[in-house]
Every structure is written in C-alpha cells, then in structure tokens.
C-alpha cells in the first residue's frame, strides 16, 4: 500500500484498493479502530474522485457500516446503510442483488436498534 501510494499517488484506484484490502485484513483481525480509519479515508477519497453513487464508493460505505456493526455503533451504521440502500435502489433497481443485500443489512441494524416493525417491513 505504501509503495503504491508513493509511486501511483494516494488517490489512484489501485492505491485505494490496497487501502481497502488492508482495512479488511484489520477487520478480520478484530482491529476495528485501524479498519475504521482506513475505511473512512477510502470512502471519502472515492466519493470525491468517483462520486457518491459510484459502485466502489457504495462498497466502501457498506464496509464502513459493517465495521460500525462490529463496534455496536448502530446509529452510525444505519446512516450509511440508508444512503447505500437508497442510492443502489435508485441506480440499480429495488430488485438488484446489491440493493437486496443493502436492505438486509439495514434490516439487521434496525433489529439491533429495536425497530422490529421497520426491519420486518423492509425484509418483506
């Protein structure tokens, strides 16, 4: 990641992918703070470079929401998941597998927040 950053620049797609991969490694090792830090950077840069609706930006948002899940930061996760679901629904359709995954993620969060009615409604 550091070499790609030096050679290609921190905003290059390959560098961002390396950062995301390292964040996923941190995630798998339960190093939430390290994962979150990189995921926030990647999400912000992808949003600026590619746009908020780009699939890679949405994936970065979902990854960050999953890290928030692991830390029991349900409100933070919910904010991101609502955005991802709405954008995927708008761009891809409500029946696209990525949109359906976003809906499932959001339902899980709503369940954790005690909003069972909303969770059931979105799953139906």
Residue pair 86/62 in contact by the 8 Å Cβ criterion: no
pLDDT at 6: 53
Q: State which residues form the domain around 36.
A: 2-123
| Max CA separation in the chain (angstroms) | 51
Q: Residue 31 sits in a domain of what CATH number?
A: 1.25.40.10
Each residue's pLDDT tens digit, 98-112: 999 999 999 999 999
Each residue's pLDDT tens digit, 59-115: 999 999 999 999 999 999 999 999 999 999 999 999 999 999 999 999 999 999 999
What does the alpha-carbon distance between residue 36 and residue 87 come to, in Å, rounded to a whole number? 22
Q: What is the pTM of this model?
A: 0.88
Residue 80: both structure tokens together: 């991101």
Each residue's pLDDT tens digit, 4-27: 555 555 666 788 899 999 999 999
- Collapsing DSSP to helix, strand or coil, 24 comes out as helix
**CA 118, 80, 76, 22 torsion: positive or negative?**
positive
Tally of domains in the chain: 1
């Amino acid at each position: 990641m550091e070499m790609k950053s030096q050679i290609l620049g921190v905003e290059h797609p390959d560098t961002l992918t390396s950062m995301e991969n390292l964040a996923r490694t941190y995630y798998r090792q339960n190093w939430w703070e390290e994962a979150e830090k990189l995921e926030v950077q990647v999400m912000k840069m992808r949003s600026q470079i590619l746009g908020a609706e780009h699939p890679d930006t949405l994936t970065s948002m979902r990854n960050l929401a999953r890290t928030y899940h692991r830390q029991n930061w349900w409100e933070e996760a919910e904010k991101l998941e609502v955005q991802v679901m709405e954008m995927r629904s708008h761009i891809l359709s409500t029946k696209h597998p990525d949109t359906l995954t976003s809906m499932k993620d959001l339902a899980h969060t709503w369940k954790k927040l005690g909003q069972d009615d909303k969770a059931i409604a979105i799953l139906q």
